[in-house]
Each structure stands twice: as structure tokens, then as C-alpha cells.
Amino acid sequence: MGKRYDTLSSDLQAWISQQKMFFVASAPLRADGHVNCSPKGADTFRVLSEREVAYLDLTGSGIETVSHVQENGRIVFMFCAFEGPPKIVRLHGKGEVIYPDHPNYSLLSQRFPLRLGARALIRVIITRISDSCGFGVPRFDFVGQRDTMDRWAEKKGAEGLAAYREEKNRTSIDGIPGYKLT
């Protein structure tokens, strides 16, 4: 049955680091706004300490998580065991968007593989850590990470990515300010 934890123990940290994908969810303050849930992978999540995590936000067609975190900070990560014993871990917290011009970006970004499509880091102070059984989660065999996003970013180049963010990432689907152009 599900448990709550005070911190990310070394066992939880090791388990999280073995997961090939995770989900991130956020929501705007407006009651009629859209809740967002996005799958992530590609080695973009890091545990920074027992109560702090970060993920590398890559350029994409949406900007929901960044918009929501900038508006209200609320965020949750969910990890599911698709291999091995069943388990689900959720990390609720208060996030901060760290752009490339932020003083801490350079140091934090060194924890991740270099990615041309990186547009920001989302750093989160964890306020709640819990697990649940995961008995209903199916088992899957991991085949490999996709390289489509990296190839797309390389084809666009730095200037093309900046133009794309300007056009596609200015606001969320609910009109909340999105990517802050630097």
C-alpha cells in the first residue's frame, strides 16, 4: 500500500534514476484552465538533493508546464515502473523556471547531457513524496530513446529554435505568458 516519505532516500533516488520516462503535470490558477500532463524521457530528470529535483525542459510545440510554473509554481512528477516490481512514485512541489540567462543555469545544466533544444530548467522544491502499488500499470520492454527531437533541433539550429519559441511558445493554450524571450 502507498506510503509517504519525508525525503528522497538513496533507495528512492536510485529507483527514480532507473526509470526511462516520467510524467509531469501542472495546472493554471483559473478553474476553467486546462490541466496539463506530459510524458518526458531522454535523460532529462535529476535528483539534486533529498528534497530538490530538476528537469531539462526541451523546446516543443507547447509551453504549458513553463507557463503554469511561472504563474503558480505547482507541479507534480510521476514515475511508473514499467519493468520489474510494480511501483508508482509521485513528487509534488513548488517549481521555478530557470532560463539560460539565469545565474544558476550554467551550473545546473552541467548535470544534464548537452541538448541544443534545451529552453529552460525546471527546478522543484519537493513538498510531498509518496508511492503507491502500481499493480494496474502494464509491463513494457524498453527499446530505446527516440532521437527525433534532437534531430529536429539540430535541423532548426539556434536561430531557428529562437524563432520557433517566439512563434509557438509565447503563451499557453489558456493565454498564460509562456517562454520569456531572452
Helix and strand numbers (H, E) in the chain are 4, 8
Q: Which three cell numbers stand for residue 82?
A: 514499467
Q: Is residue 140 part of a domain?
A: no
Q: Is the pLDDT score of 1 beyond 80?
A: no
Q: 2 pLDDT band (50/70/90 cuts)?
A: confident
pLDDT digits (tens, 9 = 90+) for 74-93: 999 999 999 999 999 999 99
- What is Dmax (Cα atoms) for the chain? 50
Q: 20 pLDDT band (50/70/90 cuts)?
A: very high
Q: Is residue 176 part of a domain?
A: no
The separation between CA 71 and the C-alpha centre of its own chain, rounded to angstroms, equals: 16
For 24, the 3-state DSSP assignment is strand
Q: Is residue 54 part of a domain?
A: yes
The separation between CA 105 and the C-alpha centre of its own chain, rounded to angstroms, equals: 15
Give the pLDDT of residue 106: 96
Q: Is residue 174 part of a domain?
A: no
CATH of the domain at 110: 2.30.110.10
Q: Looking at residues 1-9, what average pLDDT do you find?
A: 93
Give the pLDDT of residue 137: 95
The separation between CA 140 and the C-alpha centre of its own chain, rounded to angstroms, equals: 21
Q: Is residue 37 part of a domain?
A: yes
DSSP single-letter state for residue 6: S
Range of the domain at 93: 3-135+145-168
In percent, how much of the chain has pLDDT > 70?
Answer: 99
Q: Is residue 116 part of a domain?
A: yes
Structural domains in the chain (count)? 1
Give bridge partners of residue 47 from the DSSP assignment: 53
Q: Is the pLDDT score of 65 beyond 70?
A: yes
Q: Is the pLDDT score of 134 beyond 90?
A: yes
Can you give the pTM of this predicted structure? 0.96
Q: Is residue 63 part of a domain?
A: yes
Environment class of residue 85 by beta-carbon count within 10 Å: exposed (0-12), middle (13-18) or buried (19+)? exposed
Q: 57 pLDDT band (50/70/90 cuts)?
A: very high
Q: Is the pLDDT score of 178 beyond 70?
A: yes
Q: 182 pLDDT band (50/70/90 cuts)?
A: low
CB 69 within 8 A of CB 28: no
φ and ψ at 138, to 5 degrees? -70, 160
Mean of all residue pLDDT scores within the chain: 96
Q: Is residue 25 part of a domain?
A: yes
Q: Looking at residues 162-180, what average pLDDT do you find?
A: 96
